[in-house]
């Protein structure tokens, strides 16, 4: 297992074919205000790649954008809604098709209200991850080893989580419902960016 750190773009041809796990680190939770600082990506074969963007970046990143926009590559996220919006706003691509482990967890783990990545990894995979660096300064001139390891851990387990969650979705007859939710997530992210982040447009009132 190796964490690879890159500036401004992903090197060409470093990912194997197939689904990729994706996550982002930003300066905050308001996408247009809080710039995208890091994109993490992994092909599930043991290595994680971190792409860091500096202040004033033009986010050109042709190699990374090509992977994220590839319609033949499934992208695995935990809370896809946020990451898709950040990638769409800063990198200018719709990073789909989508699988979201948080959405799948909400559909299948109805016996709990704990759907964070830490809880999922503990229950489904029997491993512990630290979230200590979650609220750190991702725009700093230098990222610490602890920040890099935290960022890598956010994509390290998503392939295995998908396998476990898919088994439970199939067992409870919710696979098709989950897929419909995944298919809608790019539109949900667009609604967030367009000004409807907290409004349920399907509500009666």
Q: Which of 55, 58, 57, 66 minimizes the C-alpha distance to 10?
A: 66
Q: Which CATH class is domain 3-194?
A: alpha beta
pLDDT for position 187: 98
The better pLDDT of the pair 138, 205 is held by 138
Q: Count CB atoms within 10 A of the CB of residue 126.
A: 7
Residues 8-60: tens digit of each pLDDT? 999 999 999 999 999 999 999 999 999 999 999 999 999 999 999 999 999 99
pLDDT exceeds cutoff 70 at 133: no
Confidence class for position 1, pLDDT limits 50, 70, 90: confident
11: which DSSP letter? P
Cβ contact 62:92 at 8 Å: no
pLDDT for position 137: 95
């Amino acid at each position: 297992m190796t964490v690879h750190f890159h500036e401004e773009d992903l090197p060409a041809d470093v990912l194997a074919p197939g689904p990729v796990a994706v996550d982002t680190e930003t300066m905050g939770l308001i996408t247009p205000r809080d710039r995208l600082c890091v994109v993490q990506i992994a092909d599930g074969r043991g290595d994680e790649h971190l792409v860091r963007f500096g202040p004033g970046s033009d986010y050109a990143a042709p190699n990374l954008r090509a992977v994220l926009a590839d319609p033949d590559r499934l992208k695995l996220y935990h809370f896809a809604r946020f990451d898709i919006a950040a990638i769409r706003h800063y990198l200018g691509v719709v990073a789909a098709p989508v699988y979201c482990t948080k959405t799948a967890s909400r559909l299948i783990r109805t016996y709990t209200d704990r759907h964070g990545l830490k809880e999922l990894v503990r229950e489904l995979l029997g491993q512990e991850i630290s979230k200590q660096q979650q609220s750190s300064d991702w725009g700093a001139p230098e990222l610490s080893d602890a920040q890099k390891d935290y960022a890598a851990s956010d994509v390290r387990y998503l392939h295995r989580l998908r396998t476990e969650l898919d088994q439970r979705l199939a067992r409870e007859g919710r696979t098709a419902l989950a897929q419909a939710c995944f298919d809608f997530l790019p539109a949900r992210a667009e609604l967030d960016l367009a000004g409807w982040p907290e409004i349920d447009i399907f509500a009666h009132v």
